[in-house]
Chain A
Amino acid sequence: MSDHAVMMASRRGPLHGLSLPKGTDFSLSEAPHAARFILRGDGASVAAFGPAAPKPLQGSAAGTRTALWLGPYEFLLLAPEEDATTVEAGLKATLPAGTSSLVDISHRQIGLVLEGRLAARCLSAGCPLDLALAAFPVGMATRTIYLKTEIVLWRQAETRFHVEVWRSFAPYLVGHLADALAGTNGL
């Protein structure tokens, strides 16, 4: 076995060794590894990636690829890990030079999936946004904060959220979510 293979075999994610809540009311799991890009540019540029340009504060998906609106002219692109090279090559060919940028941030952050009827309540323990279904409907996506860490929050269903967090902040976030769950007393 080469040195490289040994190194890859012992690669550990930031949540290694942590126990994640796994209940029917609230379960927390790490999303599969993904290719992530920040696209700065016009919304029309997203078309070469796959999904239609997302509306403000919305996500837009097509097949396995998702584009989330982060701000005017700023989008977070998510794709399966193995698509990284094709996404980069495809967008590079179509992006207008000088007015846009594409940055690979695949390893900067990880994805978390929060599921269950207490998911919104656990998030509300640290996120100051109103997460009631009327105020934060299914499909809404935004960058926000959870206590002291920045997150990208995307509501995929009424009781399912996808959260992107910088990898070094992930244990902090997971710890506080587990703490919030304990504080709900299952109510």
Chain B
Amino acid sequence: MLLIRCPYCEMERPELEFRYGGEAHVARPLDPMATSDDEWADYLYFRSNPRGLHAERWRHINGCGRFFNAIRDTVSDKIVVTYKAGEARPATTGEIA
């Protein structure tokens, strides 16, 4: 079973306790009324879908209940690092493992 380190519990926990929450660091436009339709559609529907390292939101729903962010390699499914929600994306090498 995949073990995911929860940055709030500060321990590795089984993946069954977690839910995936989509791409991380997608910022809602501060003033939706001032954005064009294209910009709004881009915010709503378009994601980066990279091959390699991907910053994404996870929730420790059957544990501490907290959302946090993880950087996962979409090729190997290996989670490189996890960090608390609100923190900046840590530096990681962008190579495909």
Contacts and interface: CB of A to CB of B under 8 A. Distances in A.
A70 B65 contact: yes
Interface stretch (A2-10, A111-119, A139-147): A139-147
Say what secondary structure dominates the interface of chain B.
loop
Interface string A60-88: 00000000001110100000000000000
Nearest to A148: B16
A57 interface: yes
A145 B9 contact: no
Contacts of A57: 9, 11
A70 B66 CA distance: 10
B75 interface: no
Contact of B9 (A56, A128, A150): A56
Nearest to A147: B16
Contacts of B66: 71-72
B65 A129 contact: no
A71 B17 CA distance: 13
A143 B11 contact: no
Contacts of B17: 128, 144-145
Contacts of A144: 17, 62-63
Interface residues of A, number: 13
Contact of A71 (B13, B14, B16, B64): B64
A6 B80 CA distance: 61
Interface string B1-25: 1000000111101101100000000
A70 B17 CA distance: 13
A150 B65 CA distance: 12
A129 B13 contact: yes
25 contacts: A56-B8, A56-B9, A70-B64, A70-B65, A71-B60, A71-B63, A71-B64, A71-B65, A71-B66, A72-B8, A72-B64, A74-B64, A74-B65, A128-B1, A128-B14, A128-B16, A128-B17, A129-B13, A129-B14, A142-B9, A142-B63, A144-B17, A144-B62, A144-B63, A145-B17
